Structure 1
Amino acid sequence: MSLDPAALGAAFPRDFLWGVATAAYQVEGALTEDARGESIWDRYLRAPGRVIDGSDGSVAVDHYHRWREDIAIMSGLGLGAYRFSLSWSRIQPSGKGPANEAGLAFYDRLVDGLLERGIDPVVTLLHSDMPAALQDEGGWLARDTSRHFAAFADIVARRLGDRVKSWFTVAEPYTVMRHSFVLGDHAPGLWLATGAALPVMHHLLLGHGLATAAIRSHAQARIGLTNHSSPTRPASGAPADVAANAWFDALRNHMVTDAILLGHYPKEVETLPGADWSAIHAGDFDIIKTPVDWLGLTYFHPYVTGAPKTGEAAVREPFEPLVTGGDPQTTMGWPIVPSGLGDILTDLRARYGDRLPPLVVTENGCSLTDEITADGRVDDPLRIDFLAGHLNVIADALRAGIRIEGYFIWSFLDHFEWDLGYTTRWGIVHVDFPTQRRTLKASAHWYGRLIEAWRSGV
């Protein structure tokens, strides 16, 4: 494995997109400014005990006010793209109706600021957040939310589509369904059985298809969505473990891509206990499989999945995915297994063949314990190893003929990490949360050298 940024950069094609990623609620702050409406996360976090350190996203890392400084850092690193999500509550406070001009104006400024520095704005419409008023009407359990999402996409594309040429509609539909509607550890915090939560996935994918058409009516652009993929294997050869793993694998790795590329759900999910397919209407898959220009891929680690133990958790999920593996591990307890990304890329090509659009790794990174040294440095050699390991895998995949158009580190900045608050650090830029001071970590400097070598053709 090569750790040399110059040698590694030389392994990538000239049109490769080098970027970083964030999500609106995790970085923006300014939750009560400029007529922003209440989001599901605002409401969810008011209940005590929701976040391990008792914090919230009211300030986060103040990206709403410090975006100029942050763009300057991106420019200094030579980044070609910045993937960020929009706050639906900031643009449509109630989730429907006319746009809030102040909210749109913020994203106008951000997009223009990026373009002035030669950085491609890559917009994600939905990343785990939505207006609380829509949740009062059922949220993603309600079919109407798909229609409201398309109207939101229309507003945004009408305003930004002349400048934004790279879009993702929905980030990680299964992650939204599982954590927000089954496990209840993300907003809105519902606890449903997996089968009963399937309408969430279907409505997210329907919203994706409708939003894709809305964006295309205003922009000549690349459009797709992202899936959070993880290779998984059965905990044993026992039939119960094999069946449990097949369910989890289908939900996590294939349900989204089968729907948008093949026009149906994988056969394994048909046997999920208590599966609710009432959300599927005639013609839905024609909308869901609206052609995409690229497919986003999130990867962090693999799983081992077995039959669930008895108890309430077994009622909600007919499987028990476990994060297992050796060292090294991140502060999340996740093993660092770059080869798992290669397994996902190989599986996608084998499953979809010529139907597979170009891929983009939209999230890949790790949480570590990062501290500023007495002389003002932040050394994170394990993160450099992590990034280099995964980029070597991507380089191998490119040589094998798999089309991959870009790579986005998760994350650009240390940030508010949902139910974990500010207890983890994901960024290649360190943020001192009390002062909001930014400090580039060693991994940021390494990434910048890689991009510089790639750009110069060394």
Structure 2
Amino acid sequence: MLADATAAATPHALARALPEGFVLGTATAAAQIEGATTAGDRTSSVWDRFAAEPDRIIDGSDTSRTADHYHRFAEDIGLMRELGADAYRFSFSWTRVQPGGSGGLSREGADFYDRLLDRLHSAGIRPFATISHWDLPVEYPQGWLDRDTAQRLGDLAGLLGERFGDRIDSWITINEPATVTLNGYALGLHAPGHSLLFDALPTVHHQLLGHGLAVQALRAAGVPGRIGITNTHSPVIPASDSPEDHAMAALFDLVHNRIYADPVLLGRYPEAPDFLGDALAAFDEVPSEDLAQIHQPLDFYGLNYYMPTLVAAGAGEGESPDGTSAAMADLPFRLLAFEGVPTTGFGWPIQPAGFARALTEMQERYGDVLPPVYITENGASFPDEVGPDGTVDDTERVAFLRDHLAAALAAVAPGGPAEGLDLRGWFVWSLMDNWEWAAGFTQRFGLVHVDFTTGERTPKSSFRWLQQLIAARAEAR
């Protein structure tokens, strides 16, 4: 059924399958595109500091310029308008709007987002705003290890809600807490660069608590926009039928997926398997008041999907091509590559069926308590180059986007494995090539090619494909 859905997924066929009101948009993050790190009174984020440390970023690049969106945002919104995008998901740069991470909003920083939002509205594009997308102020020395950071996120949300609430369609409190904990605090691959393994688990609770406080602050500010959270979900597949592999797959599913979604949607942390001993003891002593703060009613749930994960029992570096497994060498499980499966530039497996499985797992686990879902990120990196004729022919990305959207729509359609899940929209990661965190400029995810020396923008074939899909949807109505 899935193969049939993807094979027939022309723009017009996909357009006919889109539910009424389905949002088609693009997404970015401030630290990856804005640059201008010394403009106005902006101060340093943990990613500015991390990039300045030796050997942290694969190509030695940093956050100072990236795609220069700070100076070229009008041009970028013009591209979105040309695309026909319904919505744009962006993030506030924490240290631009609140230098030093304390006090009121910066006049210059807030003015930049005023201009951005006004331009989006003029273009007929709905803003989806993320409050915290990984760029904590350096003034928080323990980062998310410190419970006080949760309150700081709540305070920032209140300030942003009061200033921008009249112009933001939807709010996302925090982006991918799972990635922040795993890569930033457990494995040392991302900022702030800690390698604490299971001792990183307090950052899970503090991020989720910050989410809950942010929801309450936005509602206290009276924002009319909808409020949700975004997390990445990776379906976890055991490498074999052995009990050991199944146990380790369940463990990875717990620490990557369920300890983030369960408290938000069910109001409780999942029970840890007996073989873990006291590794998850941090969650046993969570006050019930904290869980009540985290378990706030939501208007939507944001799901980022990139790939499934293949897990085997036993310590070792495994075969994951992106460096993750090397950092996990001391854990009781390892990540493996899927044999015979094509991969992205990052080495991530391309499996549209995994997307359907992710949606199915969300529906089966959370059912009636799951609010409407937006796919807030879905995309792939490939080594795109501008050709002699001045175009970028990224046929692999076109196929990736086409097949993944088709798989998602088929999964939630009547008779699909995720039937009943209320899927409201899909945001492509990313609008433009950007600074891809620890990978620097080595991975390109954009619908628009960016020359990182000149800043020149060139729409790719994938941009034209999505443009065709949006136009076909208009014709189908």
TM bin, normalised by shorter chain, reads over 0.9
Pair 1:188-2:207 in alignment: no
Kindly indicate whether the alpha-carbon contact (under 8 Å) linking 2:312 and 2:334 is maintained by their aligned counterparts in 1: yes
Mark the CA change 1:288 to 1:368 in structure 2 (over 3 Å): closer, same or farther: same
Matched, 1:83 2:89: yes
For residues 392-450 of structure 1, what are the alpha-carbon distances to aligned partners after superposition, in whole Å with 9 as ceiling and x for unaligned? 11221332342100100011100101111111111010001111100000010010010
Q: Which of 198, 218, 230 is equivalent to 2:201?
A: 198
- Which segment is superposed worse, 238-247 or 357-366? 238-247
Preserved contact between residue 120 and residue 127 of structure 2 (Cα < 8 Å): yes
Cross-structure match for 1:440: 459
Q: Note the alpha carbon deviations across 1:245-287, whole angstroms, 9 max, x for none.
A: 1111012222222111111111136764533417723301111
Secondary structure of 2:389's aligned partner = coil
Residue 168 of structure 1 pairs with residue 175 of structure 2:
no
Q: Distance in 2 between matches of 1:5 and 1:282?
A: 49
- Structure 2 partner of 1:261: 265
Distance in 1 between residues matched to 2:275 and 2:437, nearest whole Å: 32
- 1:20-59 per-residue CA deviation (whole Å, 9 max, x = no partner) reads 0001100000001110011001111111111111111110
Partner of 1:114: 120
Q: Which residue of 2 aligns with 1:361?
A: 375
Q: Report the residue type matching 2:268 in the other structure.
A: H
SS at match of 1:121: strand
The residue identity in structure 2 corresponding to 1:450 is L
Q: Deviations over 1:105-125 (max 9, x none)?
A: 111111111011000010011
Deviations 1:157-182 (A, max 9, x none): 11000111201111111110000001
Q: 1:365-409, CA deviations, whole angstroms, 9 ceiling, x for partnerless residues?
A: 100011111111100111111011011112213323421001000
* Alignment pair present for 1:71 and 2:77: yes
Kindly tell me: are residues 318 and 129 of structure 1, through their superposed partners in 2, closer, same or farther at Cα, counting changes over 3 Å?
A: farther
Give, in whole Å, the separation in 1 of the partners of 2:297 and 2:339.
37
Give 3-state SS (helix, strand or coil) of 2:89's partner: strand
**Post-superposition shift, 1:318?**
3.5
Contact between 1:295 and 1:358, CA under 8 Å: does it hold in 2? yes
Q: Does 1:210 align with 2:218?
A: no
> How far apart, CA to CA, are the structure 2 residues paired with 1:24 and 1:419?
15
Alpha-carbon distance, 1:89 to partner:
0.8
CA contact (8 A) 2:230 2:301 kept: yes
Bigger mean CA deviation after superposition, 266-275 or 38-47:
266-275
Deviation at 1:327, TM superposition (A): 3.7
Matched, 1:456 2:459: no
TM-score normalized by the length of structure 1: 0.96
Alpha-carbon distance between aligned partners in 2 of 1:270 and 1:105, rounded to the nearest angstrom: 53
1:97 Cα deviation after fit: 1.5
Mapped contact 2:188–2:327 kept (Cα < 8 A): no
> Distance between the aligned counterparts of 1:255 and 1:323, measured in 2?
24
Q: Distance in 2 between matches of 1:373 and 1:238?
A: 49
Residue 44 of structure 1: which of 42, 45, 50 is its match? 50
Asked whether the equivalents of residues 380 and 442 of structure 1 are also in contact (C-alpha less than 8 Å), the reply is yes
Contact 2:344 2:380 in 1 (8 A): yes
SS in 2 for 1:295: strand
Q: 1:325 to 1:301 in 2, by over 3 A?
A: farther
Residues in 1 aligned to 2:118 and 2:391: alpha-carbon distance in whole angstroms: 31
Q: 2: distance between equivalents of 1:283 and 1:402?
A: 29
The residue number in structure 2 matching 1:331 is: 345
Q: Give the aligned partner of residue 19 of structure 1.
A: 25
| Aligned residue in 2 for 1:344 | 358
User: Cα distance, 1:211 vs. partner?
Assistant: 0.1
**Do the aligned partners of 1:229 and 1:298 also contact (CA within 8 Å) in 2?**
yes
Deviates more, 1:315-324 or 1:16-25: 315-324
Distance 1:269 1:145 in 2: 29
Tell me the equivalent position of 1:370.
Answer: 384
CA distance in 2, matches of 1:18, 1:269: 40
Distance 1:270 1:225, change over 3 A: farther
**Paired residues of 2:315 and 2:330 also in contact (CA < 8 A):** no
Q: Distance in 2 between matches of 1:61 and 1:22?
A: 11
AA aligned to 2:218 is I
SS in 2 for 1:94: helix
Aligned length: 455
1:422 to 428, 441, 446: 441
State the AA in 1 paired with 2:64. Answer: S
Quick one: structure 1 residues 409 and 269, their matched pair in 2 at CA, closer, same or farther if it must change by over 3 Å? farther
Identity, % of aligned pairs?
45
Paired with 1:299 and 1:120, the residues of 2 have a C-alpha distance of 22
- Structure-1 residue corresponding to 2:129: 123
Supply the AA of the counterpart residue of 1:114. L
Q: What is the identity, as a one-letter code, of the residue corresponding to 1:227? A: N
Whether 1:277 aligns to 2:282 is: yes
| Equivalent position of 2:320 in the other structure | none
Matched residues in 1 for 2:423 and 2:116: separation?
27
Letter in structure 1 aligned against 2:379: G
TM-score, structure 2 length as denominator?
0.92
- Is 1:191–1:316's contact at 8 Å kept on the other side of the alignment? no
Kept in 2, the 8 Å contact 1:38–1:89? The answer is yes
In the alignment, is the contact (CA less than 8 A) between 2:127 and 2:168 conserved in 1?
yes
User: In 2, Cα distance between the equivalents of 1:325 and 1:159?
Assistant: 51
Deviation, structure 1 residue 152: 0.5
In 2, Cα distance between equivalents of 1:207 and 1:141: 12
Unaligned runs of 5+ in 1: none
CA deviation string 1:130-166 (max 9, x = no partner): 10001x1x21011111001100001111100011120
Distance apart, 1:363 and its partner CA: 0.7
Check the 8 A contact 2:26/2:87 in 1, yes or no: yes
Distance in 2, matches of 1:326 and 1:53, equals: 29
Question: 1:241 maps to what in 2?
Answer: 245
